């Protein structure tokens, strides 16, 4: 598996849909947010129908050759997400005209790369999403933290959860590394636990973990992201 494919997997590209899927063929159907991300130089890596905290939505993943801190200001101008932070990982939502657009901006595998996860839902589904509990991927809970966002693709057995912790990004990476390696998971080469992006494998499962300063949180918290992929794409 090459480096780009690994990054794609970590960013929920493991939600891979058959190439004939109409949503994969016409990204503009995802709406203004998707158009803006492509115009900013993003590469559409994958999209899928998912369930967000149990509610239906459409998810698209874009890769950028720009660090999050450099990309965020342009995203604020291009996408109607006024609360999006100006640096680091950010999560923001805009609701208008019966539609909700959520953008999760994460560090990529390198110092000058980013991953943007775009989710579009009806305003009603988004409201129910906020009321429903989020869940960790099976067996991959971060100690002492509760996720506020989770996404699932039942067809490809992929789950993603986002939470915050008072631990620093480095401490969070070390703590999750202890949890995973103590449960039989092995780091994927280069086998170094880093806050930006660390990959693990365990049998037919792959886990991706990242931790970064929550730029939109004045309390100085760290945002952690955990993804788990089971088996192979059908």
pLDDT digits (tens, 9 = 90+) for 159-201: 888 899 999 999 999 999 999 999 999 998 777 777 777 889 9
Q: Identify any residues that bridge with 224 across adjacent strands, giving them in sequence order.
A: 163, 211
Give the model's pLDDT for residue 165: 93
The CA R_g of the chain, rounded to the nearest whole Å, is 16
DSSP structure class, residue 177: H
Among candidates 114, 213, 125, which has minimal Cα distance to 164?
Answer: 213
Among candidates 209, 165, 158, which has minimal Cα distance to 183?
Answer: 209
Q: Give residue limits of the domains in the chain.
A: 3-131, 149-230
Structure tokens at 213: 């300063």
pLDDT along the chain (234 residues), means of 10: 37 32 30 77 83 86 84 76 52 82 76 82 90 84 89 80 91 94 89 78 89 67 86 48
């Amino acid at each position: 598996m090459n480096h780009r494919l690994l990054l794609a997997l970590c960013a929920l590209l493991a939600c891979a849909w058959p190439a004939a899927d109409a949503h994969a063929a016409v990204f503009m159907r995802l709406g203004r947010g998707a158009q803006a991300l492509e115009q900013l130089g993003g590469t559409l890596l994958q999209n899928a129908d998912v369930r967000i905290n149990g509610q239906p939505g459409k998810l698209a993943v874009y890769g950028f050759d720009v660090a999050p801190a450099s990309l965020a200001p342009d995203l604020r101008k291009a996408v109607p997400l006024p609360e999006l932070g100006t640096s680091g990982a950010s999560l923001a939502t805009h609701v208008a005209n019966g539609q909700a657009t959520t953008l999760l901006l994460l560090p990529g595998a390198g110092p000058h790369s980013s991953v943007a996860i775009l989710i579009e839902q009806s305003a009603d589904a988004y409201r129910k999403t906020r009321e429903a509990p989020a869940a960790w991927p099976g067996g991959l809970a971060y100690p002492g933290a509760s996720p506020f966002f989770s996404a699932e693709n039942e067809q490809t057995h992929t789950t993603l959860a986002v939470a915050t912790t008072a631990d620093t990004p480095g401490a969070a990476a070390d703590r999750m590394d202890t949890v995973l390696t103590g449960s039989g998971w092995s780091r994927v080469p280069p086998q170094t636990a880093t806050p930006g992006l660390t990959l693990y494998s365990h049998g037919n499962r792959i886990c991706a973990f990242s931790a970064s300063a929550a730029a939109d949180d004045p309390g100085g918290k760290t945002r952690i992201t955990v993804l788990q992929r089971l088996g192979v794409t059908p």
